[in-house]
């Protein structure tokens, strides 16, 4: 949305072909990816020795995904338009807020979906599944129809391969990181900071990716093997933001641990660990965002469809790895 607003392709008026096709593509991707993630979750659960039914997992994913899409689309469009009207840069506003609201909304909706699926009978599940199959067929056909050219088709065709790969990586990253989290459980108070640490790291990466995309589309930044001065200034601004954000994460994690009665490291150690791990994470994210954006743009792909999904999918692994590296460096684990 930020790129379209910056380039003047859309105005903050809640109407227009580009906006409607972006909304359509988002729903198509939500339905497609929800079905795919439901299958992945089934395979992963069975691999880990859990007994689950494929139809239950797929329906939970589909219901949760579609409901989330309604809320998140409305919130995303409203946030982008209102921030633009206020003279703010949507690239700096929408990504962190979407990350936060997405976490707040998605998990409760998944639990709601699970509760709903558990109380209905098999026939009702099959009817619901048939309904989603019809939606899925429409989702496959719609991007290739005349009404979806050019924006909806391009978004779907560019996003699907990236989202398939990112979904696979995100699904299996939890099991890959299981051993790491077992090591973190014994560390006083550190687990308290992990969710906020990963979320804010992803938000910073998302802001950077959105700004790179807008700069490339506007022509204010061009392909270069080494990041130009404009990119370096963006890197520096992210590090300054990181100093504030990750310091607060360490402080709040300490306060929360004290309030709930968890043994915790001294506040200065919590802040030091959070800041150093966060700054290390930003260094990695800077280069991932830059080179992913310019490479996708060089090959004619829209960085908006590529960079943020990649950063989001690798954030759990990168963030946890940086946190563990700092803990090992200081001999805490």
Tokens, residue 273: 């660990």
pLDDT band at 274 (very low <50, low <70, confident <90, very high): very high
Instruction: Kindly state the average pLDDT of the residues 258-282.
Output: 89
pLDDT attached to residue 275: 95
pLDDT band at 96 (very low <50, low <70, confident <90, very high): confident
For residues 71 and 139, the model is more confident at 71
Tokens, residue 48: 């880990």
| Other beta carbons less than 10 A from residue 43's beta carbon | 14
Q: Are 285 and 142 in contact (CB under 8 A)?
A: no
pTM listed for this prediction: 0.74
Least-confidence region, from 7-21, 148-162, 252-266: 7-21
b/e 158-168 (16+ beta carbons within 10 angstroms → b): bbbebbeebbe
pLDDT attached to residue 169: 74
Instruction: Kindly state the average pLDDT of the residues 25-39.
Output: 85
pLDDT attached to residue 133: 87
pLDDT attached to residue 178: 56
pLDDT attached to residue 308: 81
Q: What is the pLDDT of residues 53-74, one digit of tens each?
A: 888 999 999 999 888 888 888 8
pLDDT over 90 at 50, yes or no: no
pLDDT over 60 at 183, yes or no: no
Q: What is the pLDDT of residues 140-172, one digit of tens each?
A: 776 666 655 667 777 788 788 888 887 777 766
Instruction: Kindly state the average pLDDT of the residues 116-128.
Output: 90
pLDDT attached to residue 272: 93
pLDDT band at 282 (very low <50, low <70, confident <90, very high): very high
- What is the residue-wise DSSP string for 122-157? HHHHHHHHHHHHHHHHHHHHGGGSGGGTTHHHHHHH
Instruction: Kindly state the average pLDDT of the residues 110-117.
Output: 89
pLDDT band at 277 (very low <50, low <70, confident <90, very high): very high
pLDDT over 80 at 279, yes or no: yes
pLDDT attached to residue 126: 92
Average pLDDT score, the chain? 81
Highest mean pLDDT among 16-25, 178-187, 201-210, 265-274: 265-274
The full set of domains in the chain, from first to last, is: 1-176 (no CATH), 177-333 (1.10.357.20)
DSSP structural state of residue 300: T
pLDDT over 90 at 182, yes or no: no
pLDDT over 90 at 247, yes or no: yes
Q: Are 208 and 293 in contact (CB under 8 A)?
A: no
User: Looking up tokens 């699970």, which residue turns up?
Assistant: 114
b/e 64-100 (16+ beta carbons within 10 angstroms → b): bbbbbbeebeebbbebbbebbeeeebbbebbbbebbe
């Amino acid at each position: 949305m930020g790129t379209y607003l910056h380039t003047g392709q859309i105005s903050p008026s809640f109407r227009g072909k580009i906006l409607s096709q972006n909304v359509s593509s988002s729903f198509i991707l939500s339905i497609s990816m929800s079905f795919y993630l439901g299958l992945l979750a089934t395979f992963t659960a069975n691999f880990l020795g859990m007994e689950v039914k494929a139809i239950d997992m797929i329906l939970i994913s589909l219901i949760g995904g579609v409901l989330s899409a309604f809320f998140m689309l409305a919130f995303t469009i409203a946030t982008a338009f209102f921030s633009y009207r206020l003279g703010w840069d949507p690239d700096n506003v929408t990504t962190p807020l979407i990350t936060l609201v997405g976490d707040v909304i998605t998990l409760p909706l998944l639990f709601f979906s699970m509760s709903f699926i558990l109380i209905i009978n098999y026939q009702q599940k099959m009817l619901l599944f048939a309904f989603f199959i019809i939606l899925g067929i429409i989702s496959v056909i719609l991007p290739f129809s005349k009404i979806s050219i050019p924006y909806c088709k391009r978004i779907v065709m560019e996003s699907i391969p990236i989202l398939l790969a990112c979904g696979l990586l995100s699904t299996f990253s939890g099991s890959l990181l299981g051993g790491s989290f077992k090591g973190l459980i014994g560390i006083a108070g550190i687990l308290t900071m992990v969710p906020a640490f990963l979320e804010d790291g992803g938000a910073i990466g998302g802001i950077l990716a959105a700004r790179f995309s807008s700069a490339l589309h506007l022509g204010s930044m061009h392909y270069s093997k080494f990041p130009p001065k404009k990119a370096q200034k963006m890197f520096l601004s992210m590090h300054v933001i990181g100093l504030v954000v990750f310091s607060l994460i360490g402080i709040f994690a300490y306060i929360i641990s004290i309030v709930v009665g968890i043994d915790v490291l001294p506040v200065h150690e919590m802040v030091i660990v959070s800041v150093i791990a966060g700054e290390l994470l930003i260094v990695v994210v800077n280069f991932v965002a830059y080179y992913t954006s310019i490479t996708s743009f060089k090959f004619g792909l829209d960085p908006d469809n590529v960079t943020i999904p990649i950063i989001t999918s690798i954030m759990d692994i990168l963030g946890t790895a940086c946190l563990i590296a700092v803990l090992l460096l200081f001999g805490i684990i």
